[in-house]
Structure 1
C-alpha cells in the first residue's frame, strides 16, 4: 500500500451551556489518519503529542522513564532521529513510560502520529506490543500492534478515563525484544468535542447537498414551484440477524420489515445446519427465509460458508481424512454458493480465521486464501468478507488486533487468483461488554487503510444496567465513521430469548435496546422537506443517503409531478436534478 494523506475533519465548533446561556468553544478536529505500513522513519506525533511531554524525544529522555525496573536509553537513527529504547527486557511490562494526569469522563486517543499512535520497531522478527495505561487500581489496555523488526509500526488506540487522577502510559510485550518508542501522542477530547466529530463526519459521509431545478415544458425555469421531498428508504444498510422463527410469526415479520434493510441468518445457512448428516443437504429453511427477505426488499449477507473453529464443524466433518475433507469442502462451497449466488450482498467465507485454524491445520497456511479464491469464482457480484471478533471489542487481544486483521486480509488478497480487490470486505462482529469508544474509532481508522468496505456484522452488548446506553454509544460511533458501510445487530428473536441481546420482548414490544435502535433510525433519516423554488427555479436540500419521493407543483399551471430520487456516496454534489412540471 502506498502512503496515505492525512484525513482531518474541518474545524469544529461545540455549543456548551454555561449558566443557562449558550457559549461556543472551538473544538479540536479529529485526525482519522493511520497506517498499516512498515515505515522507514517515524511520522510526526499527532496533535503535537497531546498531553505527553517531549513526544518525539527531541529533548532526549526528558519526561520519560523506565517502567517495571527496566533499562531505558536514548537511541538515534542514522538520519539523526531520536527515540526511546527499552533494553535488556526480562518482563513483559518493562518498557518506556510517561506519567500523565487524566481527566474523568474524557476520551483519549493514543498514537504516534495521532493521539495514541506509536512507532514501535523491535530488534528482530515481529512482536505484539500493547499500550497500557496504569491508573489507580487498574490496568487499561488501550491498543495493540504487531510490530516488525527494522521499521516503524503504528499503534493507534484509545481509552476513556474512568476517573480523574495520576496515571502512567507504558507498553508491554511477551517477547524479550527491545522496544523502541517514538512520536507518541495522548490527546484528550471532551464528550462534547467527540459528539461534534460525529456530527461533522455524518455530514460528510452520510449526507449530500442536493440541488433540484424545476423547469417548464419548454425548459424554462419555474420560479416559485412548490417542492416536497419525502424519505422513502434509508441508503445506509442497518439490519439484524434473524432466525427461522420469523417464518412462523407474522408479528415478528412486521416488526422486522418495518425497520431493517439488511439481514443475516443466525445459523440457518451454516454448514452444520444445511448438511447435518453427510450427503443429506436441506436448504428448505434458508430458502424460505430468503424469500421472505426478498419480498420485503431486505438484502441478505451469506453467513457463513465455512467456520474455522473446530467445534463448529458438522460432527461428521471433524474426523474426515485429508482427501475426504478436501472433497467435502469443495462440495460445500459449490453447493451453498451456487445456490445463492446473485441473491446475497456478501459472503462470510471463512468465519473467525484469526482465532481458529481448523482448515489451516488440515490444508496448510493458505487454506483460507484458497477458499476465498474459490468464492470469488463462485459469485462474481457479492462482497467476500472476513468476519472476526475482538478486533473492536478488546484492545488486549493480540490474535485479532487491527494489524493482525490486516495481515490476514493482505495474505488473502495477495494469494494467486485473488485479484478482485474491490470485492474484499472487512467484517467485524462486535460482541461488546463495556466498550472503549476511543479504541473503536482508532481501530476503524487503522482498518480503513485497506480501502475495503467495513461492516459491523454481529453487534450486541452484554446484559447489565447500562446495556442500552452502551449500545447507543457503539452505534453512534460506528455509524459516524466514514469507512463503515453497514451495520448488523446480532438480535435474532426466539421464544426463549436471544443469543445475548434482544430488542423486544416475546410480544415484539420494544425493550430499552429496541428504543435505542428506533430512535437512531428516526435520527438518521431526512424528515420531509417542503419549500418553494427560488427565482431561477432552484431548490436545495441536505439529504441523508437514501431513496426519496419528490413532488413538485407548478405555481400557475394546474400540474404536479412526482419523481424518484436516489442519493448515495457516489452522488456528485455538483449534479443538478431537473424536474419538468
Structure 2
C-alpha cells in the first residue's frame, strides 16, 4: 500500500505540470507548481491578503479543478504563488491565467507581481488587466520583465474585482520569453531561419552540360517582407520626399486620403482625387499599397454629416460607402483595414447592433475577393489590450467575418522593450493569422534613443514568424503627425540617427553577393526571401540579366539558365509533383516511380535526382525520407 500511495503521489505531481492551460496540456516550460490545481488542492498557492482559497471540482476551465477565491475584503485580495526561486533576473516571462467571476456584472481582473528589494519600498507591477462579464471564462495575459538587485520577495497574484466578489482561477502559466542579454542573438538566429533560403544558380550550355567559370552577380531588388511607410499629399510634390520614399520603402498606405471623411465631406459628394493621385504615383514606382480605412469605429472620426444618421439612413450610407470605395480600389489596394479601432469605439455598433461589424467584412469580401481584409487597433503591442483584441477577433470569426490579417499599431512613447513586444506578438500569433505592424513610430527628443527603439521593434518583429510587414507612420519631420521627435528624417532632409539605423537594417536584410560557377556549373548563395536580379557574364558573350523569386520553402531553390540567357527550368529538388513544396506526396510519387507505376519527366525527373548522379533510384528515395524526417537539412545532396 505504501508503494502504491507513493506512486500515486509522484503521478499526481507529474500531472500537475502537464495538465492545465488551453485545451488540456500545460504550456511548455511552465514554471508554476500545480498551475491548474489538478492536485485537487491549493498546494503551492496561498491567499493574498484576507480571503479564502479552495480547490473545487464544480468549475474548471480545463481538467477537473480550479481554485475558488472567496471572503475577499479588498480588491487586491486573491490567490498567489511565491516566484522568488522560480524567476531569473534579466529574463522576460509570459504570464497568463483564466478567470471566471461568480455572478453577473462587469468586473476588472488583473495579474500582478509584487517585488521587494532590500531597503526599498515594494513595487507592484500590473502584468495584465481586462474587464470581464460574470459567469464566463476569460483569459488574461502579459509579459513581465524581471529586474532588480537583492530581491527578497517576489509574489505573483491574481486580483481585481470589488471586495466581496468571488471568482475562479485556472490554468495559470509562467513561461520564458527570452533574456535581455541574448535577445538580439536569438532574434538574428530566427531571422536566419525564417527569412532566408538556400539558392543555386545553374548555368548550362545548349546540350544541358554545366558551364564553369561564369560570373554571377546577385542583387536583391524587392523583399517578400513588407517594409513601408504612410504617404501623404502634403509631401508628394516635393522631389526630396518622393526620392526618399522610393529608395527606402516598398509598401505605402495613405495617411488620410482613403478615409471616409476625406472622400465624402458632404453626403453624396464623393471624390478620390487625392487617393488616386497617390496610388498612381505608387503604381508608377512599383510600390504596393494597403488601404486604410473603409470605416473608423470611434465617433470622433466620422464624417460630420454621418453623425446625425440612424437606422435605415445610416445603413444606406454604410452600403453606399462600401459599394463606392471598395470597387474603386479593387485590384489596387492589396489590403483593407475594414473597420479601424473597434476596441476603442462603438459608433456603428451602438446604432445598428454588433452584427454590423461582421457585415462590413462580408460585404467587403464580396466587393473585392482578392483584397486581404484586416482588423487594426492600438494598445496591442504598446500596452495590455492584446487579450481583448484576441477575444474580439475570435467573435468576428465566429460570426462569419473572414479576417486575413491582424494589424497592430505601434505608436511608442516610452522605451521599446523587444522581449515585451515579442511576448505580445506571441500571444496574438496563437490565432494563426498573419500580423502586420501597421503604424510604427517612436516619439522621443533623444534621437539616439529613437534609433535604438526603431531597431528593437524592427529586429524583434522581423524575427517573428507571424509578422509579415512593418509600416512606419511617416518619416519626415516636416509632415510627421507626431512632429520632429518621431521623425527619421529632419526638417532639412538630413537623415538622422534613427533614419540611419533603419537604412542599416534594410542593408543588413538585403542580399547582394557574387561569384563564379563551379565545375558543376553552379553558384550557391543563401538569401533573404524576395525578388532578385541575376546578372550572368559568360566569357566571350554578352552578359544577360534574369529575374527570380526566392520564396519560402524547404530545400534549395534551383534556377537553371542556358548560356544564351534562356530559362532552362527552375528546380526545387524533392518536389516531384511540382506543387512548390516538398512533402510526403512527393515521397509517394518517388516510390510509385521506382515501382514503375508513375511517370516522371522534365523538371519533375530532375527534381527526383537528389544526389545529382543522373538517375533516380533507391538512394534518392532514402535521401527524400531523411529530408522529410529532418535528418538532413537540404537537397540536393552535396557531392
Q: Tell me the TM-score normalized by structure 2.
A: 0.75
* 1:90 Cα deviation after fit: 5.0
Q: Greater CA deviation, 188-197 or 506-515?
A: 188-197
> Contact (CA 8 Å) 2:550, 2:557: kept in 1 or not?
no
Q: Please give the alpha-carbon distance, in whole angstroms, between the structure 2 residues aligned to 1:540 and 1:267.
A: 45
- Whether the aligned pair in 1 keeps the contact of 2:252 and 2:288 (CA below 8 Å) is yes
In structure 1, the gaps of 5 or more residues are: 1-36, 111-115
1:119-146 deviation line (CA, Å, top 9, x unaligned): 4455567976432222355432323568
Deviates more, 1:469-478 or 1:433-442: 433-442
Pairing of 1:231-310 with structure 2 (within 5 A): 231-310=220-299
- Return the match for 1:453 from 410, 431, 434: 434
Q: CA deviation at 1:388?
A: 0.5
- 2:158 corresponds, among 167, 171, 178, to 171
- Tell me: CA distance 1:192–1:324, structure 2 relative to 1, closer, same or farther (3 Å): same
Pair 157,437 (structure 1): closer, same or farther in 2 beyond 3 Å: farther
Distance apart, 1:334 and its partner CA: 1.6
Call closer, same or farther: CA 1:86–1:223 in 2, change over 3 Å: farther
Pair 1:134-2:114 in alignment? yes
| Counterpart in the other structure of 2:495 | 510
- Of 519, 533, 538, 1:535 maps to 519
Contact 1:243 1:493 (8 Å CA) reproduced: no
Equivalent of 1:462 in 426, 439, 443:
443
> How many equivalent pairs are there?
525
Q: Distance in 1 between matches of 2:190 and 2:265?
A: 46
**1:46 corresponds to:** 28
**Which whole-Å deviations, capped at 9, do the CAs of 1:104-163 have from their partners, x for residues lacking one?**
9723222xxxxx243445556797643222235543232356889899765543122343
Q: TM-score, normalised by structure 1?
A: 0.82
Report the RMSD for the aligned CA atoms in angstroms. Answer: 3.0
Cα distance change of structure 1 residues 47 and 124 upon mapping to structure 2, 3 Å threshold: farther
1:72 alignment partner, SS class: strand
User: Distance between the aligned counterparts of 2:423 and 2:436, measured in 1?
Assistant: 16
Match of 1:69 in 2: 50
Give 1:34's aligned residue: none
* Structure 1 residue 492 displacement after superposition: 5.4
Structure 2 residue 481 is matched with structure 1 residue 498? yes
Hey, what's the Cα distance between the residues in 2 that align with 1:74 and 1:68?
17
Q: Deviations over 1:399-446 (max 9, x none)?
A: x423x2233223333335x4xx4x621111112223443332222223
For 1:149 and 1:545, the matched residues in 2 are separated by 48
Question: What residue number does 1:190 align with?
Answer: 179
- Paired residue for 2:143, among 151, 155, 158? 158
Aligned to 1:25: none
1:272–1:152: structure 2 CA closer, same or farther, 3 Å change rule?
closer
Q: CA deviation at 1:85?
A: 4.0
User: Mean alpha-carbon deviation: is it higher for 360-369 or for 214-223?
Assistant: 214-223
Q: Is residue 2:208 matched to residue 1:225?
A: no
SS of residue paired to 1:301: strand
Summarize the Cα distance change of 1:542–1:40 in structure 2 as closer, same or farther, 3 Å threshold.
Answer: closer
Task: Name the structure where helix makes up a greater proportion of residues.
Answer: 2
Work out the CA distance in 2 between the residues paired with 1:482 and 1:275: 39
Quote the residue 1:371 is aligned against: 360
Which is further off, 508-517 or 283-292? 508-517
- Could you say what secondary structure the match of 1:213 adopts? strand
528-537 or 294-303: bigger deviation: 528-537
Separation (CA, whole Å) in 1 of partners of 2:547 and 2:457: 33
What's the CA shift for 1:523? Answer: 1.5
Alignment partner of 1:470: what SS? helix
Structure 1 residues 253 and 119, CA gap change in structure 2 (3 angstroms): same
Deviations 1:462-512 (A, max 9, x none): 324333322221221111110011111112546365335211112221223
Match of 1:579 among 557, 561, 568: 561
Gaps of 5+ in 2: 1-19, 117-121, 564-639
- String of CA shifts for 1:213-249, please: whole Å, max 9, x gaps: 2222111122443322112222211111122112221
- 1:208 correspondence with 2:189: no
Question: What secondary structure, in the 3-state scheme, does the structure 2 residue paired with 1:335 have?
Answer: helix
Q: What residue in structure 1 maps to residue 571 of structure 2?
A: none
Matches within 5 A, 1:376-525: 376-395=365-384, 400-402=385-387, 404-416=388-400, 418=401, 421=402, 424-434=404-414, 435-465=416-446, 466-491=449-474, 493=476, 495=478, 497-499=480-482, 501-525=486-510
Q: Which stretch has the larger CA shift, 205-214 or 258-267?
A: 205-214
Structure showing greater Rg: 2
3-state DSSP class of the match of 2:514?
A: strand
In structure 2, do the counterparts of structure 1 residues 87 and 48 end up closer, same or farther at CA, with 3 Å as the change threshold?
same
Whole-angstrom CA distance in 2 between matches of 1:207 and 1:95: 47
